[in-house]
Structure 1
């Protein structure tokens, strides 16, 4: 039975090990205001320690996934460097929470994802987009280069593709986003939910302990040189083999039965 807990800015649904966090301010194009960022941060912190959550889906209400920062809020605080720095630091904190979350995070993208909204998509471990979705880092068009979105974008797509998006500010269609590695899959909007939750369910069926180990190691090794990465991941695998779920998984495979995970 699906449970629903509605926050002011974030809707939270949990079912079968999958928790969906929905940006819920469509009238403001789900912009990442300070309040929205703080609400999302709190939900990510909560779900991080939730043993019943195995996979997180980030979605959005309305026709726009996320239009980036709230420009009205920024305009009202143009003279406050302190506020601006706090805002961008809070946004950076949320993006790092997603990367550091010990559970896989999937972005469900319908509509437009621009600037920090595009950053949000790029920060998720996986992303599934409707074929009508569009992406952009258009800060250059208003004199505010998308410097923080650049961090996530440049770690997901090639340098030249990232630079083209950053320098032109032009919209990128869903199929191009898939080609350059910004999203994993593009599907008809009518089957978007089916595709997202089938993928989430597949992942949720794995050992939570193993997923945690693997996700953490994936991002750590990306920052290493080749030899260091192999040394590091060899140690990770040797340690992983000592886990109860590794023993269970290997035995279940050899015995040709379904494993019974203990998440340890």
Structure 2
């Protein structure tokens, strides 16, 4: 792996580990890094050998959010940076949607801080493993820039009161509290965080591939629907799933009391 790259990639069996590699900048999400990460995720989704993705950060941070130095420099543009800011926010939204819509589970392995858009990235992932020293925040309110786009992912993970507390106070939340609030699934020692996330990825990778794709897509789609519409939609999904070869083999194996042989 070339340490000059802003994004590192390593395969551990069926799990692809992607590492944000701007440690001196606390892995802040520059335009280049967001574009590179989005492309790498899309490529992983098309690679039959990859069954899960782990996202982590090099150095002492997962990600500190948007690159404020890059954004501030554009205030000298003729439009005072408006066009660049619009492009930045659109690119960020596309990145988060890529994570959600990827037909693979994406697991955040959170080391150090995850703040602002970095916290948004964690909240957008399907699962999150946090190091004991990890800390989370949406601190934009402290610098006059409310974390409105991180709010989208945060409010879909936490209760409204908990999300609003993080957004209005802008204070750091420790790993254990983040787990209690629903932002992290597990908390482990810092030297175990990537391995634990990879372990989760491998467990998920052992499940039938199409079933996972069907389930992830349905999870996020139904979450945005009214209750009656969600039940109609998921009933149709289950019918199609029932007719799939994976369900036929899995149910047959269960009834026959044998291990399933998943079709490829």
Return the TM-score normalized by structure 2.
0.95
Structure 2 residues not aligned, in runs of 5+: none
Q: 1:198: how far off?
A: 1.6
Match of 2:71 among 70, 74, 81: 74
1:38 aligns with 2:39: no
1:207 aligns with 2:208: yes
Q: 1:189: how far off?
A: 1.6
Give the conservation status (yes or no) of the 8 Å contact 1:107–1:124: yes
* Rounded Cα–Cα distance in structure 1 between residues aligned with 2:46 and 2:234: 25
Question: Could you tell me which residue of structure 1 aligns to residue 58 of structure 2?
Answer: 61
Match of 2:10 among 10, 13, 17: 13
CA RMSD after TM alignment: 1.3
Structure 1 residues not aligned, in runs of 5+: none
Q: 1:6: how far off?
A: 7.0
1:169 aligns with 2:164: no
Question: Could you tell me which residue of structure 1 aligns to residue 113 of structure 2?
Answer: 112
Question: Could you tell me which residue of structure 2 aligns to residue 101 of structure 1?
Answer: 102
* Rounded Cα–Cα distance in structure 2 between residues aligned with 1:231 and 1:6: 49
Distance 1:189 1:208, change over 3 A: same
Q: 1:215: how far off?
A: 0.2
Question: Could you tell me which residue of structure 1 aligns to residue 133 of structure 2?
Answer: 132
Distance 1:248 1:7, change over 3 A: farther
Q: 1:190: how far off?
A: 3.0
Three-state SS of the structure 1 residue aligned to 2:69 is helix
Three-state SS of the structure 1 residue aligned to 2:237 is helix
Count of residues in correspondence between the two structures: 260
Give the conservation status (yes or no) of the 8 Å contact 2:99–2:124: yes
Question: Could you tell me which residue of structure 2 aligns to residue 27 of structure 1?
Answer: 24
1:187 aligns with 2:179: no
Which deviates the most, 48-57 or 94-103? Answer: 48-57
Give the conservation status (yes or no) of the 8 Å contact 1:6–1:12: no
Distance 1:26 1:5, change over 3 A: closer
* Rounded Cα–Cα distance in structure 1 between residues aligned with 2:261 and 2:23: 41
Return the TM-score normalized by structure 1.
0.95
Match of 1:48 among 45, 48, 57: 45
Give CA deviations for 1:44-86 in whole Å, capped at 9, x if unaligned.
1111111111111111110111000011001101211000000
